[in-house]
Amino acid sequence: MTGRARARGSTVPRHAARLRQPGRRDPVPTRVDGNGSAVPPPAARPRSLLGYLVMPRPKDMVKGLLMPFTFALAVSAGADATGRTVVRALIVWAALELLVYPARYQWNDIRGFVADQQHPARRDRGRLPGPMDRARAHVTASCAVATARLAVTATLALALPGLRLTGVLTAVTAAVFGVAVVYEALRARGTGRTGAFPPPLRPALVALWVVVGAGYVVRGMTGLALAVDLGRRPALAVAAAVTLWAFGIAFVTSRWVLESLAFATSHHGRLTWTTRSGQAREHLLALVRWLPSGTVPGTPAGWAPLRRRTSPAAPWNAALLIAGTAAALTGALLTTVRVPPGHALATAALGAVTTAAAVSSPKRRPAVVAAGAALHLLLPALTAQPRPLAALLPWLSLMAAYLTFSSRSLDTIGLLPRRLCSLAAAPLVPVVRAVIGRDTWDALRKDPGGPR
């Protein structure tokens, strides 16, 4: 079944069919055909199976910064961090991001293999590569590598008994796959049912949007728990978990609404959507109802819709408001073991007001965030709270992330991870060039597609 619909908005002149944002350049030049329809850029070269098995989701690497960030946040707020604590945290971080989460992503891609082969942007998404006639070989290889990753995680825990890794790695692995089981069950129940556009808001879809935030709780609370005894500070644990969960919902739903644009084409600034039930993307396409109205210059993939004002009821906005409120309170609880109720209420209220102001002022968001940060610094000064800068960091970091993901388009979702990968790989360039030879190295660099 195929569903087609057009987004609201009038046509745009052909000369205006290129999306431009102040202060930034389009990553890919936009072309139009003779009818004024935006022509998408050529498809990227598909990933190799080997590249996928080494790192299943390179565009998601930025999420791996959450665990060390919360650990560092706790240390900046006064947590005692010995050399042993830091080494333990680094090993857990490596296991979580290089072993456990990649295995979880591989399971997700195995379950979604058929639907992924029908995705219009399957070459760009980097999921388990096809084609369908290689399904058995590719799925088997991915299962074997995922199992090996989990086996290495267990071996790592047993090989370093002095660091007491068994408990934490077992808990982290169980949490990651516990969330995955619920997610996969909801996705199976809520997607692949209809090609209608937009899909109806069924309970399974709403529950799926809620559950996606749990993975951020696992990552963030792991870093926090390695630095702070959360058993003795339950209020901090609850506030931090709410912050992380709500942030995860905001981040993922805002990313999913961008990914839904892969199913759209633009004709004179109006979007036309094409969907099929077999694509199983209702959890993305149901979010389209909250996209801003108006024309879409350029290609849908180059449009950054969250730069505009969107409904306060949009899942990413509602979740961000909760996250901003809880983040402000988390900062106060990080720096002070016992926060007076009045001060806690004032801090949470300030977090809610400043977050709402940033969401509702798309053209002035950076300035609004800066003003909000000044207010968050002023409140601890007036109440003699220790470490006011450390108390500010949870809210400020949340809003910095919001400024980043609200400025993205489908074309630019993965730019930050690629830059980080380039920086990380830079020290290895001379070694690789020496091993493979300068001529081969130069040939690889001239390859426009390049190995992925």
> pLDDT by residue (tens digit) across 317-340?
999 999 999 999 999 999 988 888
41 or 292: which leads in pLDDT = 292
98 or 42: which leads in pLDDT = 98
Does position 16 have pLDDT exceeding 70, yes or no? no
Q: φ, ψ for residue 274 (rounded to 5)?
A: -125, 120
Which stretch of DSSP H or E encloses residue 243? helix 234-259
Q: Are residues 313 and 382 in the same domain?
A: yes
Q: Does a structural domain hold residue 446?
A: yes
pLDDT tens for residues 222-270?
A: 999 999 999 999 999 999 999 999 999 999 999 999 999 988 888 888 8
pLDDT tens for residues 427-442?
A: 656 766 676 677 776 7
Give counts: helices (H), strands (E), the chain.
19, 5
Does position 60 have pLDDT exceeding 50, yes or no? yes
Q: Does a structural domain hold residue 41?
A: no
The pLDDT of residue 6: 44
Q: Are residues 313 and 273 in the same domain?
A: yes
Q: Does a structural domain hold residue 28?
A: no
Q: Does a structural domain hold residue 25?
A: no
The pLDDT of residue 391: 92
What number is the average pLDDT over the span 72-91? 90
Q: Are residues 154 and 105 in the same domain?
A: yes
The pLDDT of residue 333: 94
Residues 205 and 237 sit within 8 Å (Cβ to Cβ): no
Q: Are residues 263 and 125 in the same domain?
A: yes
Cβ contacts of 52-57, under 8 Å, gap ≥ 24: 52/126, 52/127, 52/128, 52/129, 52/142, 53/141, 53/142, 53/145, 55/102, 56/102, 56/105, 56/106, 56/109, 56/126, 56/127, 56/128, 57/102, 57/105, 57/126
Q: Does a structural domain hold residue 37?
A: no
Q: Does a structural domain hold residue 6?
A: no
Does position 8 have pLDDT exceeding 90, yes or no? no
Q: Does a structural domain hold residue 315?
A: yes
Does position 20 have pLDDT exceeding 50, yes or no? no
Q: Are residues 156 and 188 in the same domain?
A: yes
Residues 273 and 197 sit within 8 Å (Cβ to Cβ): yes
Q: Are residues 399 and 427 in the same domain?
A: no
Give, in order, the Cα–Cα distances in Å from 100 to each of 56, 210, 249, 260: 12, 22, 21, 28
Count of domains observed in the chain: 2
Q: Are residues 154 and 227 in the same domain?
A: yes
Q: Are residues 221 and 239 in the same domain?
A: yes
What number is the average pLDDT over the span 144-171? 91
* pLDDT-above-90 percentage for the chain: 47
Q: Are residues 383 and 429 in the same domain?
A: no
Eight-state DSSP code of residue 173 = H
Q: Are residues 420 and 392 in the same domain?
A: no
Does position 370 have pLDDT exceeding 80, yes or no? yes
Per the structure, the complete domain to which residue 131 belongs is given by 48-413
b/e map 217-249, b = 16+ CB within 10 Å: bbbbbbbbbbbbebeebebbbebbbbbbbbbbb
The pLDDT of residue 92: 95
Q: Are residues 409 and 431 in the same domain?
A: no
Q: Does a structural domain hold residue 311?
A: yes
Q: Are residues 337 and 234 in the same domain?
A: yes
